[in-house]
Structures are given as C-alpha cells and as structure tokens.
Structure 1
C-alpha cells in the first residue's frame, strides 16, 4: 500500500469515529427527551399538577452509536432520589425508556435532566441533557375555632357562647366562596358572620385568613361545636396521562367542647304579712325583751341577787327536827323588788313577774277571757303539781343522807 492510500484510510477512520457513524462512539450518540404527565414541552409550559396527585415523568433515551451502553441512569433534581427506574443496558441503535412516579409538591419544579451511559470497552461515557418539570398547585383550606362563654347572670336561663371560626388558605391558589357552617350547634344557614357576607368568604388569597363569628344562647350543659369549611380553587390540572382534572371541593373541620354553667338564683325577698313586724324588728324586739324584761332565777349564772332593806333574822327547824339556817337578809322582801344597789349603772330594771302582770290585767278581761285564763291556770297548776311530786321525795332523800353522814 502506498503512503498516500494509507493516509486516506486513516483520515476516513478519524472522520467516522468523530461523527459516531458506522461503529463510531462520541458526543451526540445519546439523545434524550422528557414528557411530564403527557406534556412534551414541559420546559416552557410545565403542566399544573394538583399537590398530592401523581407526577409521571418518562425519559426517552436513543442510542445512535454502534456500541452498547451500560449502567444507564438519569439524574433529575426535580424527582425524589431513587424514584427514576432505567434498564441496565441500552443496546446500540436502539431506544429505551426510564420512568419516575412520585407525588407532586407545591411550587414550580423545572430543572435540567441528565442521562448517562458507559461503554466499558472504550472507557467512554455518553451523556445527553434536557429540561423538564411541573408546577404543583392547590388551594389548601384550614379551619380553627375558639369558644368564649359569657358569665351567667342571675335568674337562671343559661348563658351566651361566642364561637370564632378562623379559615386559612395555606395553598398557592386563591380560594373562592368559602362557606362556614356548624352542624354541632345546629346553626341556621349563613348564621356565622364573615364580615357581613352571611357565612361565606368570597375570595381568600393564598397565605391569608378570615374570621367568622356567631353568638348563641344555650341552656346549662356540655356542648360540642363542630365547625366545617368548604371552598374551591377552581383550578383544572393534568392527570398522569395528560387528561384534564377538574377542581375538587376542598373541606376542613375543627371542633371544641365547652360548658355552660348554671346561673346563680337571685334571693327572693320575704314580704311580711300585713300588720306583722319585720323579721329584723321582731328579732331585735325579742332580744331586747330577753335582755331587759327576763329575770333570771336565783343562783343562775348572771342572775340578779334579790335583797331587801330589812335586817331581821329568824330560826326554825327543818323536816328532820334540826334548827334551820338563819334567813338571808331581805328574805321578807316583796317578790320582784330589786334594790338600786344591786343593779349596775345603766342596766334596764327588770320587768315585773308574769304573775303580777296577769293580776293587773284581770280587771280588764271579760267573761270569755276569764274562762281562757282559768283553763291556762289549770294546766299550769297540773304541771306544777307534777314537779312538786317529783322534787319532794328527792329533797327528803337528800336530807336523810345528810343526817346520816353527821
């Protein structure tokens, strides 16, 4: 072979190897395209996928070289680690598909994707890149509530409870016609006041909240509030095969248990009978009568000692024949007489004995009065006779015991 022919063969081989044609291996021999939920232009129009729904990415790899590719893999920052599945070998002049399936998260996720395959015999790695991704969208409805029970007033009848419902949009799309209800308290439709809109929030922007309130009057007892909120973001998204998915009805719930206590009962004033003294006056009069008019019995604690102005003494014998003790000075004083010396200054003089008061009123009573008085005196005489019959034997026995000891 001449030198010129040899040079021509070497130049042709170099050109063929650089282009990857007819057994050549080089850049451009591996090609990549990506579809996301059926959309091929996701790099410029990322499909909207509802947060939490499935995202399906398909990576189409084409090997235009004449060498088999080993350890084929796809590196995609927009897919969770380990979610991409590829065949182990991509034969020469053939194509294969890698897939990834995962749940969508909120936000725009468009990233460069890189595919790789090795040619071990040549110690060469073929690569290809593309851009792809999706946009995770959704309005996310949240609800909390708080109950404040007013202090019950007097007179019974329960108390009022004010319930505040807080609706929040935690998503990245506006929510429309958010309605608040409470089946637990059996509220009428539109009962909560949401800013004068009758239980409905017209538009709730992302990352904002609105308040709805209602006040109900309840009887004493334990209650459970069960708030419910519903609304829609009105967004149409794409399914895994590219089909259109209508917006669902978004709901949220909250509950609270609270107690309405029994109201204290107001005291009812007692109205005295016509002509009867008031209770306080009666009690004061009774106390004054007990302190001023009652005369304690001799020897009782706090009793006034009875004396008179005479100085005579006398002796006698008791039932046993012994001389009796001399009588105390003043023993002959009239009943009920209290010398000034025995009453402390400022004290009220004792009232006369009941017997004297009765005797003073005998002349003024009529025939029926005398009959009633005689009946009372007979009853008092019977009680006195019974006491004497009980006390006389006891006194005799005490005297006999005393004489024996002497």
Structure 2
C-alpha cells in the first residue's frame, strides 16, 4: 500500500539517491568543449544548445529544469520527468548576439518522496562575432556661378564598422549618380577602405558637376570580415558579403544670368562726358571766335557756324548781310565791343549781344530794308507778330507820302 501510494504520487524510490547522481553535459552548435573553445557564431544566426542530463539515481526526477544565464529566459525546453537510470535532453534555440557568452549552467530535478533536489553544473557558451557595416552620406551643393552651366555637388560618404571584427576591402559606390568605379576618394585608395577596425569610421568624398535639377544620391558600401563561423550542426559557414546603403535628395539651382552691358545710342554722350548745354560746352561756344568783328553766339538767328583762329583782325557782316567796315585804329568801339587794347594776344573777345548788332544798322536801312529784316525775324516772333511788323511801317509810310503830296 505504501509503495502504491508513493507511485501514485509520482515520487521515486528512496534508495541510491545522493550528490552526484545527476550529471550534466552541454554542446553548443555541435561543440562539446564550449567552455574552453566557445564556438564563433555569426551575430543574428541561430545558436542551439543541447543539455544532456543523466539520472544515475534509483529515483525518478520531477520538475526537471535547466538554468542558463547565457540563454534568453524561457528558451530552454526540458521533459517534465527524468526516470531513474535514464538520460534526457533539454534544448535551447535562440539568435546569437555580439560578444562572449560563457556561463555556468545548472540542472535540477526533485525527488518528492524524499524531499530532495538533485543538481548538476557545467560551463558552456558561445562567441557572437561579426563585422557590422553602416553607411551615411551628406551632400553640399556649391553656389552656382553666373553664366549658367549648373554647379558642383560634393558628396561625403561615412562608412562605419559597428561590429566586433575588422572589415576588409570596404568599397563605396553610388549608382544613383552614375559614378565611375573608384570615383569616391577614400584617402587616396580609389573608392576602397583597405581595413576598417571595429568601432571606427572612414570618409570617402566625390565632387560632381551637375546641371540644374533634382538628384538622388544612392550610396552603397560592401565589405567582409572574413570570419568562418559554426552552424547549428557544427558545420563551417563562410563569411558573407556585408552591405549597407544610404541615400540623399538634393537640388542644383539655376545659375543667375550675367548682366548684359548696355550700349549707348548713337550720338548719346559717353559715360563721364559733359552733357549738352553744360558750362563746359557754353565756355567752348563763347570762345569759338578770335576775329575783331562781332560774331553771333552759336544758336542765335543768323549765327555763323565757324571757328576762327588767328590774331583777331578779321571782317564780319552786319544784320542786313553787308560787309562791316573795319574799325579804324583808335576809333571808338561800338557799344558792347571790347577795345583791342584790353584783349591780350591770343585771347578770344566775348561776342556782343545780338540786339546791339541789329541796332548798329537800323539807322541806315530804308523801308525795304526794314521789310527784309522783319522777314528774317518772323521765325522768332510768330505769324501774328510778323503781320503787325509789316502793316505798321506800311501805314506810317502811306501817311508820310500823303502829307508830302499836300
């Protein structure tokens, strides 16, 4: 009755139970000496741990379990009961993480009838290895120059080894910009970084000339850590090609148009030349004549377009077109004229006002002379004034003739 009751309760036999009756061995990815030579497993690959338990006691073990700090919680699976004098296997399967993970492992089983717990320990683990390649990029567009033709863009690629193994022959390319092979400058090595140590970065740069528009850079980096690792069954796994990518969108602006120099119209004064009617032009017009006779100022009615040079002894014309008599030596000067003694040799005397010249011949002209003079002055006074000037002298002349006949 007592034996049957003990079996129904799941308790083991009391005889042959003690320390050392439970034994433990562990293999990691097929390697049994993982405590001394932890297998190298690529980061992210599968790790398979097999825990072999041997119960050499004469009692069954209940609530069998394995405590392994090197395995994620809940990843170890064990049978509920390990019968006496038999063995069982617990397993764990999880993804490898970087670093060395070798820890003590503890196996346990209970003998309820004796209120005893059998234990066993072993050391096991693995080493997670890999070179991890990362890539970022930055684009700087130069300010476009005048004259069109686009601008240059400088792209900087930053490659980083985020793993725990060196990377070899890291090559940088950019199919988005259609760069030639080896175009990025990686320290004078033609688009390739020979060795990139763990936790370090390298820079590659390229400058391209682009027309105005929107562009997308698509950087690509590739390399290898050359590490051979172990698979879940202990097979050798060659190193894969590691890759990384990055992209950036940038805009090349339209270059500003160069200003077109303005050509002055024909006859327009050049830049810096005195404008028409300025004081410089007036001074040149005032000194254009060097003769003794008075010459009308340029622009006055009946003025002569000439330039005189010489000693100042010349002959001019009066308002009626007759030659003017030369001034006698020592004779009184006409009103407004400059005496010869007051003009220095080579100097140009100022021209007298036109009104004084007209007054000089008024006393000598007759009726017909007045008519001709009025006609010449018609351009200055207009049609109405001309008519008045013609009619008034005619009326006066008619009155004079009538009084003489009486």
Deviation at 1:266, TM superposition (A): 1.0
Deviation at 1:181, TM superposition (A): 0.3
Cα distance in structure 2, aligned partners of 1:69 and 1:294: 148
Answer whether contact 2:6 2:12 (CA < 8 A) is retained: no
Deviation at 1:258, TM superposition (A): 0.8
Cα distance in structure 2, aligned partners of 1:402 and 1:23: 185
2:220 corresponds to:
228
Cα distance in structure 2, aligned partners of 1:363 and 1:394: 17
Cα distance in structure 1, aligned partners of 2:198 and 2:370: 102
Deviations 1:108-155 (A, max 9, x none): 000000000000000000000000000000000000001111111111
Change (3 A) 1:125 1:269: same
Q: Which of 102, 109, 123 is matched with 1:131 structurally?
A: 123
Answer whether contact 2:315 2:326 (CA < 8 A) is retained: yes
Change (3 A) 1:381 1:146: farther
Unaligned runs of 5+ in 1: 1-8
Change (3 A) 1:233 1:301: farther
Deviation at 1:404, TM superposition (A): 51
Runs of 4+ in 1 over 2 A off after TM superposition: 9-23, 270-406
Deviations 1:361-389 (A, max 9, x none): 99999999999999999999999999999
Deviations 1:276-316 (A, max 9, x none): 99999999999999999999999999999999999999999
TM-score by length of 2: 0.65
SS of the aligned residue for 1:372 comes to: helix
- Residues 386-395 or 155-164, more deviating: 386-395
Cα distance in structure 2, aligned partners of 1:290 and 1:21: 154
Cα distance in structure 1, aligned partners of 2:44 and 2:30: 18
1:207 corresponds to:
199
Deviations 1:194-223 (A, max 9, x none): 000000000000000000000001111111
Answer whether contact 1:17 1:24 (CA < 8 A) is retained: no
SS of the aligned residue for 2:303 comes to: coil
Change (3 A) 1:200 1:364: farther
C-alpha RMSD over aligned residues: 12.9
Structure with larger Rg: 2
Deviations 1:13-32 (A, max 9, x none): 99999999993100011000
2:245 corresponds to:
253
Change (3 A) 1:299 1:228: same
SS of the aligned residue for 1:58 comes to: strand
Answer whether contact 1:74 1:84 (CA < 8 A) is retained: yes
- Residues 90-99 or 322-331, more deviating: 322-331
SS of the aligned residue for 2:358 comes to: helix
SS of the aligned residue for 2:347 comes to: coil
Answer whether contact 1:239 1:245 (CA < 8 A) is retained: yes
- Residues 211-220 or 14-23, more deviating: 14-23
Change (3 A) 1:50 1:271: same
SS of the aligned residue for 1:258 comes to: strand
Deviation at 1:268, TM superposition (A): 1.0
1:146 and 2:143 are equivalent in the alignment: no
TM-score by length of 1: 0.65
Unaligned runs of 5+ in 2: 268-272
Deviations 1:336-385 (A, max 9, x none): 99999999999999999999999999999999999999999999999999
Number of aligned positions between the proteins: 398
